[in-house]
Structure 1
Amino acid sequence: MFTTLLIDDEPIALGRLKRLLAQFDDLIEVVDEALNGLEGIQKIETLRPNLLFLDIEMPQMTGFEMLSRLSYMPMVVFVTAYDQYAIKAFEENSIDYLLKPVEKERLAKTMDKLRNLRPEQEPTLSQESLRQLIGSMVPKKEMHSISVKSGDKILFVPLSDISFFQAEDKYVLLNTVDNKQYLMNYTITSLEEKLPSNFVRVSRSTIVNSTKIREMERYFTGKYMIVMLDQKQTKIESGSTYQENVKRLMEF
């Protein structure tokens, strides 16, 4: 039996989903409902359900944002109005989804999938897969430069001049191909979400510009040493948990 929390800002949609789930009372026990992300966080942390049925587009806080703030991660079935192209991201991350309005036949397929899982099983949506999912679903704005402070001036550094970004302690440094460095106010995670797709995170602390890589060589335990095209030919070691991202570099 999966203890289940329903989260949707539309009471009508919540009521419909609850009625449909009542037909699967041998598998699903709806323990509560929430009408927004903040309420959802509070109830998840208190009730610690096995499963969420989660709306994505909610005011103040999206379903993605709500998940990123959790200390406890249940299994998730997204309820979404995204189109078929965007839904590919859900499939690649092994996360189930339901298109609005939820149909009985499609819900039954979700139930069949759940019957092959255990309520206490580790969820497929880890923090890392959540990060990848958000990156897949949220289109990045077109950017040509990024602003940095230099004394009393604001400089606009063209993205084409950037070799890599690297976090050091609480700061992030922008490194250019001519080996200039600028201190930034962004976190490495916020930069990852902001930058276009040719900027790839290869470790917890580093994002590289894939167009500024000279070569890559295999390193220890599945890692790679990435040599950049900057004047110093900086060497960057990839992180063991970022192997999928490193594979992406080989596809550019």
Structure 2
Amino acid sequence: MQAILIDDEPLALRRLTSLLSHYPADVQVVGQAANGAEGLTLVRALRPDVVFLDIEMPLLNGFELLSQLEELPSVVFTTAYDHYAVQAFEECSIDYLLKPIEPARLAKTIARLRQLRPARSTAGLNLDDLGQLLQQLKPRETLRSLSVKSGEKILLLSMNDISYFESQERYVFVRTVEGQQYLSSYTIAALEEKLPEQFVRISRSCIVNTHHISNLQRYFGGKFLVTLTDRAASCLETGLAYGGNLKRLIEL
């Protein structure tokens, strides 16, 4: 089988090339590419039987590359994603190699590729589903501290010192346990994605630090009043669409 290797990590390419060299009767590496755009050009030109394909790459990721091909080769994803991705890849009837690639695991891939001969296309490949999988598996960039301006200074706030975030019109304010207020450069939606798990969104305009919740009180229409342990003993109202966040948190 003629193979193309596509990966933006030189060490990963060298390791895979070395490992595949132990299977000269099965695989002939006819080309390598260091990003998705180069890989697309190479696959179109050489029309290999199999592509060993990284997922996260510059210019085009692996799924974007495949979506632009008129004819799909057999695909083996080489990925750093953990075991949660494994079942999804298997269900799509494609193979995968978790980095760093182990010789024993590659041997199983080679055996599977032998069985696929002479088929050129990958059965069951659903690029839309795999694209959604990629988004779900991307590591969250979690904030460990928050920088805010105070006059001419830039302060770094510990997450434990933050009581809650509140948006007012176009601005988002940070409220601390000691009662200070600072302007944040993040939107509420961005904070919801980046904050540690101790922060929970309770309304369209508010995210609270659950470590500083004193008590909850049932309110009208399935809402709650959330009282915090900060100096101001802040009392916040949950929104209808977000009350479930707190319910799940405290198993009400």
TM-score of the superposed pair, with normalisation by structure 2: 0.52
**CA apart distance, 1:86:** 2.3
Number of residue pairs matched by the alignment: 138
Amino acid corresponding to residue 64 of structure 2 in structure 1: E
Partner of 2:29: 30
Residue identity opposite 1:115 in structure 2 = R
Q: 1:132 aligns with which of 110, 129, 134?
A: 129
Instruction: Verify the 8 A CA contact 1:49 1:74 in the aligned structure 2.
Output: yes
- CA shift, 1:60, in A, is 2.6
Query: Partner residue of 2:109?
Result: 110
**Contact 1:5 1:51 (8 Å CA) reproduced:** yes
The answer on whether the counterparts of 1:79 and 1:97 sit within 8 Å (CA) in structure 2 is yes
Change (3 A) 1:33 1:119: farther
Does structure 2 conserve the Cα–Cα contact (< 8 Å) formed by 1:75 and 1:125? no
Distance in 2 separating the partners of 1:137 and 1:106? 22
| TM-aligned CA deviation for residue 57 of structure 1 | 1.2
Structure of higher CA gyration radius: 2
**CA offsets 1:72-114 (integer angstroms, 9 cap, x no match):** 2111000001111122210110110001011101100101111
- 1:73-222 equivalent positions in 2, closer than 5 A: 73-124=72-123, 126=125, 129-139=126-136
Distance (Å, rounded) in 1 between the aligned partners of 2:39 and 2:120: 21
Alignment of 1:48-87 (within 5 A): 48-87=47-86
Is the 2:71–2:121 contact (alpha carbons within 8 Å) kept by the matching residues of 1?
Answer: no
Alpha-carbon offset, residue 15 of structure 1: 0.8
TM-score using structure 1 length: 0.52
Percentage identity across paired residues of the two chains: 51
Hey, what's the Cα distance between the residues in 2 that align with 1:24 and 1:106?
Answer: 13
After superposing on structure 2, the runs of 4+ consecutive aligned residues of structure 1 that deviate more than 4 Å are none
Deviation at 1:121, TM superposition (A): 4.0
Counterpart of 2:200?
none
**CA distance in 1 between partners of 2:78 and 2:85 (Å):** 13
Cα deviation for residue 120 of structure 1 reads 3.8
* CA distance in 1: counterparts of 2:11 and 2:53, whole angstroms: 14
State how far apart, in whole Å, the 2-side matches of 1:125 and 1:33 are: 25
> SS where residue 98 of structure 1 aligns?
strand
Q: Which amino acid aligns with 2:21?
A: A
CA distance in 1 between partners of 2:66 and 2:50 (Å): 13
Distance 2:32 2:136 in 1: 30
Q: Residue 37 of structure 2 aligns to a residue in which SS?
A: helix
Contact 2:94 2:122 in 1 (8 A): no
In structure 1, the gaps of 5 or more residues are 141-252
User: Structure 2: how far apart are the matches of 1:120 and 1:26?
Assistant: 18
1:12 maps to which residue? Answer: 11
**Contact 1:89/1:137 (8 A) holds in 2:** no
Hey, what does 1:152 align to over in structure 2? Answer: none
- Root-mean-square deviation (CA), in Å? 1.8
Alpha-carbon distance in structure 2 between the residues aligned to 1:43 and 1:122: 17
